Amino acid sequence: MTKFDDQLFVCIDCETTGLNPKEDLIIEVAAAVFTTKGILEEFATLIDPGRLIPPESTVIHHITDDMVTGKPKVESVLPKLLQMIGKKTIVGHGVGFDIELLAVAAERTGIGHSLKGNSSIDTLRMARLYGKSPTNALEQLRKHFCIEPHGAHRAMSDVSVNIDVFLNLIKDYKDLRQLFDILEKPIQMQTMPLGKYKGRGIKELPQDYLQWAAKQAFDRDLLFTLRSEVKRRKRGALFVQSANPFSTLE
Protein backbone atom coordinates (compact mmCIF):
# COMPACT_ATOMS: atom_id res chain seq x y z
CA MET A 1 0.00 0.00 0.00
CA THR A 2 1.39 3.42 -1.01
CA LYS A 3 -0.29 6.25 0.80
CA PHE A 4 -0.68 9.50 -1.14
CA ASP A 5 0.98 11.44 1.69
CA ASP A 6 4.17 9.38 1.30
CA GLN A 7 4.54 9.99 -2.44
CA LEU A 8 6.56 12.49 -4.46
CA PHE A 9 4.79 13.62 -7.64
CA VAL A 10 5.80 15.90 -10.49
CA CYS A 11 3.16 17.77 -12.48
CA ILE A 12 4.11 18.84 -16.02
CA ASP A 13 2.54 20.93 -18.76
CA CYS A 14 3.79 21.96 -22.19
CA GLU A 15 2.55 24.65 -24.56
CA THR A 16 3.31 23.91 -28.19
CA THR A 17 3.19 25.00 -31.81
CA GLY A 18 0.38 22.49 -32.42
CA LEU A 19 -1.23 19.21 -31.43
CA ASN A 20 1.00 16.65 -33.14
CA PRO A 21 3.68 15.48 -30.67
CA LYS A 22 5.74 13.96 -33.46
CA GLU A 23 5.96 17.16 -35.51
CA ASP A 24 5.09 20.13 -33.31
CA LEU A 25 7.53 21.77 -30.92
CA ILE A 26 7.48 22.86 -27.30
CA ILE A 27 7.40 26.63 -26.76
CA GLU A 28 6.86 26.64 -23.00
CA VAL A 29 7.26 24.04 -20.30
CA ALA A 30 6.50 24.03 -16.59
CA ALA A 31 6.96 21.44 -13.88
CA ALA A 32 6.41 21.29 -10.14
CA VAL A 33 7.53 18.62 -7.69
CA PHE A 34 4.89 18.27 -4.98
CA THR A 35 3.40 16.17 -2.21
CA THR A 36 -0.08 16.28 -0.75
CA LYS A 37 1.32 18.85 1.69
CA GLY A 38 2.55 21.36 -0.91
CA ILE A 39 4.91 22.26 -3.76
CA LEU A 40 8.62 21.58 -3.17
CA GLU A 41 10.19 22.81 -6.41
CA GLU A 42 9.05 24.66 -9.52
CA PHE A 43 10.53 25.27 -12.95
CA ALA A 44 9.10 27.12 -15.95
CA THR A 45 10.52 28.68 -19.08
CA LEU A 46 9.60 29.81 -22.55
CA ILE A 47 11.44 27.98 -25.33
CA ASP A 48 12.49 29.24 -28.74
CA PRO A 49 11.26 26.56 -31.21
CA GLY A 50 13.17 28.01 -34.14
CA ARG A 51 9.99 28.27 -36.20
CA LEU A 52 6.92 30.49 -36.36
CA ILE A 53 4.04 29.79 -34.00
CA PRO A 54 0.76 29.26 -35.89
CA PRO A 55 -1.87 31.93 -35.10
CA GLU A 56 -4.41 29.28 -34.10
CA SER A 57 -2.02 28.06 -31.38
CA THR A 58 -1.35 31.59 -30.12
CA VAL A 59 -5.10 32.07 -29.68
CA ILE A 60 -5.06 29.26 -27.11
CA HIS A 61 -1.92 29.99 -25.07
CA HIS A 62 -1.30 33.66 -26.00
CA ILE A 63 2.40 33.02 -26.67
CA THR A 64 3.73 35.00 -29.63
CA ASP A 65 6.84 34.72 -31.76
CA ASP A 66 8.28 37.85 -30.11
CA MET A 67 7.89 36.27 -26.67
CA VAL A 68 9.99 33.21 -27.52
CA THR A 69 12.64 34.85 -29.71
CA GLY A 70 15.99 34.60 -27.93
CA LYS A 71 14.68 32.25 -25.24
CA PRO A 72 16.54 28.98 -24.47
CA LYS A 73 16.43 26.14 -26.98
CA VAL A 74 14.80 22.93 -25.84
CA GLU A 75 18.13 21.06 -25.64
CA SER A 76 19.36 23.45 -22.96
CA VAL A 77 16.16 23.10 -20.93
CA LEU A 78 15.63 19.34 -21.03
CA PRO A 79 18.52 18.24 -18.76
CA LYS A 80 17.21 20.24 -15.78
CA LEU A 81 13.63 19.21 -16.48
CA LEU A 82 14.49 15.52 -16.79
CA GLN A 83 16.47 15.70 -13.55
CA MET A 84 13.43 17.19 -11.80
CA ILE A 85 11.19 14.45 -13.14
CA GLY A 86 13.58 11.63 -12.29
CA LYS A 87 11.65 8.49 -11.41
CA LYS A 88 8.72 10.35 -9.85
CA THR A 89 5.09 9.68 -10.73
CA ILE A 90 4.14 12.16 -13.45
CA VAL A 91 0.81 13.95 -13.13
CA GLY A 92 -0.88 15.97 -15.87
CA HIS A 93 -4.12 16.66 -17.70
CA GLY A 94 -3.92 14.53 -20.82
CA VAL A 95 -0.42 13.77 -19.56
CA GLY A 96 0.38 11.23 -22.26
CA PHE A 97 0.62 14.10 -24.76
CA ASP A 98 3.12 16.00 -22.61
CA ILE A 99 5.24 12.91 -21.96
CA GLU A 100 5.32 12.13 -25.68
CA LEU A 101 6.31 15.72 -26.49
CA LEU A 102 9.21 15.65 -24.04
CA ALA A 103 10.31 12.18 -25.15
CA VAL A 104 10.32 13.17 -28.83
CA ALA A 105 12.18 16.42 -28.03
CA ALA A 106 14.82 14.48 -26.09
CA GLU A 107 15.25 11.90 -28.84
CA ARG A 108 15.38 14.60 -31.52
CA THR A 109 18.22 16.36 -29.69
CA GLY A 110 20.09 13.21 -28.67
CA ILE A 111 19.35 13.49 -24.94
CA GLY A 112 18.83 10.23 -23.08
CA HIS A 113 15.65 9.80 -21.05
CA SER A 114 13.51 7.21 -19.30
CA LEU A 115 10.23 9.14 -19.34
CA LYS A 116 8.12 6.29 -20.65
CA GLY A 117 9.28 4.11 -17.77
CA ASN A 118 7.76 6.47 -15.20
CA SER A 119 4.36 5.78 -13.72
CA SER A 120 1.88 8.50 -14.64
CA ILE A 121 -1.55 9.73 -13.60
CA ASP A 122 -3.85 11.45 -16.06
CA THR A 123 -6.22 13.83 -14.26
CA LEU A 124 -8.40 13.93 -17.39
CA ARG A 125 -9.12 10.22 -16.92
CA MET A 126 -9.60 10.72 -13.19
CA ALA A 127 -12.15 13.44 -13.97
CA ARG A 128 -14.01 11.04 -16.29
CA LEU A 129 -14.27 8.58 -13.41
CA TYR A 130 -15.31 11.35 -11.02
CA GLY A 131 -18.14 12.33 -13.36
CA LYS A 132 -19.55 15.27 -11.37
CA SER A 133 -18.17 18.18 -13.39
CA PRO A 134 -20.17 19.46 -16.42
CA THR A 135 -17.05 18.96 -18.56
CA ASN A 136 -13.59 17.60 -17.84
CA ALA A 137 -11.61 20.58 -19.14
CA LEU A 138 -9.05 21.80 -16.61
CA GLU A 139 -10.64 25.26 -16.37
CA GLN A 140 -14.08 23.77 -15.75
CA LEU A 141 -12.64 21.49 -13.05
CA ARG A 142 -11.02 24.52 -11.44
CA LYS A 143 -14.40 26.19 -11.19
CA HIS A 144 -16.11 23.00 -10.06
CA PHE A 145 -13.72 22.57 -7.13
CA CYS A 146 -13.75 26.34 -6.35
CA ILE A 147 -10.00 26.64 -6.95
CA GLU A 148 -8.63 30.17 -7.19
CA PRO A 149 -7.46 31.09 -10.73
CA HIS A 150 -3.71 31.12 -11.29
CA GLY A 151 -3.64 33.41 -14.33
CA ALA A 152 -4.04 32.94 -18.07
CA HIS A 153 -3.76 29.63 -19.94
CA ARG A 154 -0.01 29.23 -19.61
CA ALA A 155 2.13 26.27 -18.55
CA MET A 156 2.84 27.23 -14.92
CA SER A 157 -0.69 28.43 -14.22
CA ASP A 158 -2.02 25.16 -15.64
CA VAL A 159 0.39 23.16 -13.48
CA SER A 160 -0.74 24.98 -10.33
CA VAL A 161 -4.41 24.42 -11.12
CA ASN A 162 -3.74 20.82 -12.14
CA ILE A 163 -2.12 20.04 -8.79
CA ASP A 164 -5.13 21.43 -6.91
CA VAL A 165 -7.50 19.46 -9.15
CA PHE A 166 -5.47 16.29 -8.55
CA LEU A 167 -5.57 16.77 -4.78
CA ASN A 168 -9.36 17.06 -4.96
CA LEU A 169 -9.76 14.02 -7.20
CA ILE A 170 -7.65 11.66 -5.05
CA LYS A 171 -10.11 12.07 -2.17
CA ASP A 172 -12.15 9.27 -3.76
CA TYR A 173 -9.28 6.76 -3.37
CA LYS A 174 -7.71 5.19 -0.30
CA ASP A 175 -4.19 4.90 -1.72
CA LEU A 176 -2.08 5.07 -4.87
CA ARG A 177 -2.35 1.36 -5.62
CA GLN A 178 -6.15 1.52 -5.73
CA LEU A 179 -5.96 4.47 -8.12
CA PHE A 180 -3.49 2.72 -10.43
CA ASP A 181 -5.58 -0.46 -10.45
CA ILE A 182 -8.69 1.46 -11.49
CA LEU A 183 -6.89 3.53 -14.14
CA GLU A 184 -5.49 0.38 -15.75
CA LYS A 185 -8.97 -0.35 -17.10
CA PRO A 186 -10.67 1.66 -19.86
CA ILE A 187 -13.29 4.14 -18.67
CA GLN A 188 -16.85 4.17 -19.97
CA MET A 189 -17.69 7.74 -20.99
CA GLN A 190 -21.20 9.20 -21.13
CA THR A 191 -20.77 12.08 -23.60
CA MET A 192 -18.75 12.80 -26.73
CA PRO A 193 -15.86 15.06 -25.67
CA LEU A 194 -14.92 16.43 -29.10
CA GLY A 195 -15.93 16.90 -32.72
CA LYS A 196 -19.22 18.10 -34.16
CA TYR A 197 -21.22 16.14 -31.58
CA LYS A 198 -19.24 17.40 -28.60
CA GLY A 199 -21.41 17.25 -25.47
CA ARG A 200 -23.91 14.84 -27.06
CA GLY A 201 -24.64 11.60 -25.19
CA ILE A 202 -22.83 8.59 -26.63
CA LYS A 203 -26.15 6.73 -26.94
CA GLU A 204 -27.52 9.64 -28.99
CA LEU A 205 -24.81 9.64 -31.67
CA PRO A 206 -26.03 8.99 -35.22
CA GLN A 207 -25.19 5.49 -36.41
CA ASP A 208 -23.02 6.57 -39.35
CA TYR A 209 -20.98 8.95 -37.18
CA LEU A 210 -20.61 6.30 -34.47
CA GLN A 211 -19.30 3.77 -37.00
CA TRP A 212 -16.79 6.31 -38.33
CA ALA A 213 -15.65 7.53 -34.91
CA ALA A 214 -15.08 3.99 -33.62
CA LYS A 215 -12.32 3.59 -36.22
CA GLN A 216 -10.43 6.81 -35.46
CA ALA A 217 -7.19 7.23 -33.47
CA PHE A 218 -8.86 8.52 -30.29
CA ASP A 219 -7.64 7.77 -26.78
CA ARG A 220 -8.42 4.35 -25.37
CA ASP A 221 -11.30 5.48 -23.12
CA LEU A 222 -13.16 7.09 -26.00
CA LEU A 223 -12.49 4.17 -28.36
CA PHE A 224 -13.63 1.70 -25.71
CA THR A 225 -16.81 3.73 -25.19
CA LEU A 226 -17.58 4.10 -28.89
CA ARG A 227 -16.89 0.45 -29.70
CA SER A 228 -18.96 -0.66 -26.70
CA GLU A 229 -21.86 1.40 -28.05
CA VAL A 230 -21.45 -0.19 -31.50
CA LYS A 231 -21.66 -3.64 -29.87
CA ARG A 232 -24.65 -2.59 -27.75
CA ARG A 233 -26.59 -1.48 -30.81
CA LYS A 234 -25.71 -4.69 -32.67
CA ARG A 235 -26.97 -6.76 -29.76
CA GLY A 236 -30.16 -4.68 -29.71
CA ALA A 237 -30.69 -5.24 -33.42
CA LEU A 238 -30.13 -8.99 -33.05
CA PHE A 239 -32.60 -9.10 -30.16
CA VAL A 240 -35.25 -7.34 -32.24
CA GLN A 241 -34.70 -9.78 -35.10
CA SER A 242 -34.89 -12.82 -32.81
CA ALA A 243 -38.03 -11.50 -31.13
CA ASN A 244 -39.67 -10.85 -34.50
CA PRO A 245 -38.69 -13.49 -37.08
CA PHE A 246 -40.53 -11.48 -39.79
CA SER A 247 -38.58 -8.24 -39.14
CA THR A 248 -36.27 -8.78 -42.10
CA LEU A 249 -39.06 -9.54 -44.54
CA GLU A 250 -40.52 -6.84 -46.79
Please choose, from the candidates 51, 47, 59, the residue with its C-alpha nearest in 3D space to the C-alpha of residue 13: 47
Q: How far apart are CA 166 and CA 163, in angstroms?
A: 5
Q: How far apart are CA 22 and CA 19, in angstroms?
A: 9
Pairing outcome for strands 89-92 and 9-16: parallel
**Contact status, residue 9 vs residue 34, Cβ threshold 8 Å:** yes
Q: Is 62 a catalytic residue?
A: no
Q: How far apart are CA 67 and CA 48, in angstroms?
A: 9
Q: How far apart are CA 226 and CA 217, in angstroms?
A: 12
The catalytic residue positions are: 153
